[in-house]
Amino acid sequence: MVNITAPLRIGYVLFPAFTSIDVFGPLNVLNLVSMNYNMTLSLLSTNLEPISVDRTIIGGVGSGMGAVSASPNFTEFVLPTHTFDNPPDLDVLFVPGGYGTRNINGTQPHVDWIRSRIEQEPKLDYLMSVCTGASLLARTGKLEGKNATTNKAAFNWVKSVEHADKVNWIAKARWVVDGNIWTSSGVSAGTDMTLNWVEHLYGRNESERVRNIMEWNAMNQTDDPFAEYYGLV
């Protein structure tokens, strides 16, 4: 259990074309938990410009995977609260996935900052990833020797990024816990992981309260039909 008197300082790393539910699913959980427990939330990126969701749109111009669409004007933007040059103190860091993770050059500043934050004192209490966000963690080199999982549709691509060959990738898992590092499978799995993490921190009564408010059907760590669907097991 955590110290409920001090705020739990949560941060999200954001980049263009992050997947919406990777962020907003866990945030729905955290918003509900924050009504009972003291938390702060920070959204971090390279600058304070609006960040496009599910598509890469920078300065009004679309590019990369997901940019070409039958509905080019259907998009969302999120405003960061902090830049990597002026980050807040954090206890927990979430890293989402999405098309944007495949932009290796575009996400290098994010990888560099995540690496520096992992190395910084005081250490993060928890490091969390959703979907292909695990590729950014792997590229830091700080997952070496760790167990982790990721989106099963992109499993082999994530395993191909720099330093990923040093990670023990678990194919059949909804989420994986290795010490203070929590990694989840594709998209909606991040919400299951976060609910389980809430149970780990605040107890089952709180996680069940939130799950019932959300009408979210619980899944276990081993509930992963997508590993078989994508031929990984």
Confidence of residue 139 (pLDDT cuts 50, 70, 90): very high
pLDDT at site 70: 59
Helices (H), 4-160: 20-33, 108-119, 133-139, 155-158
Residue 3, in any domain of the structure: no
Asked if residue 83 is part of any domain, the answer here is yes
Mean residue pLDDT of the chain comes to 93
pLDDT in tens, 150-204: 999 999 999 999 999 999 999 999 999 999 999 999 989 999 999 999 999 999 9
Runs of H (alpha helix) within 84-167: 108-119, 133-139, 155-158
Q: Is pTM beyond 0.75 here?
A: yes
Instruction: Provide the token pair at 42.
Output: 């920070």
Q: Quote the number of domains for the chain.
A: 1
Residue at 2 is within a domain: no
Domain that holds residue 129: 8-229
How far are the Cα atoms of 10, 16, 50, 137, 150 from residue 59, in angstroms, in the given order? 28, 11, 9, 27, 30
Residue 38 domain-assigned (yes or no): yes
Domain with residue 153: its CATH number is: 3.40.50.880
Is residue 63 situated within a structural domain? yes
Q: pLDDT at position 57, please?
A: 67
Residue whose C-alpha is closest to residue 157's, from 144, 129, 181, 138:
138
**CA nearest to 196, candidates 20, 33, 12:** 33
- Can you name the residues that pair with 10 across neighbouring β-strands? 41, 92
Residues 203-223 pLDDT 10s: 999 999 999 999 999 999 999
Q: What tens digit of pLDDT does each residue of 30-62 get?
A: 999 999 999 999 999 999 999 999 887 666 666
The answer as to whether 188 is a domain residue is yes
Point out which residues pair with 176 in neighbouring strands. 183
Report the Cα 112 to chain-centroid distance in Å.
16
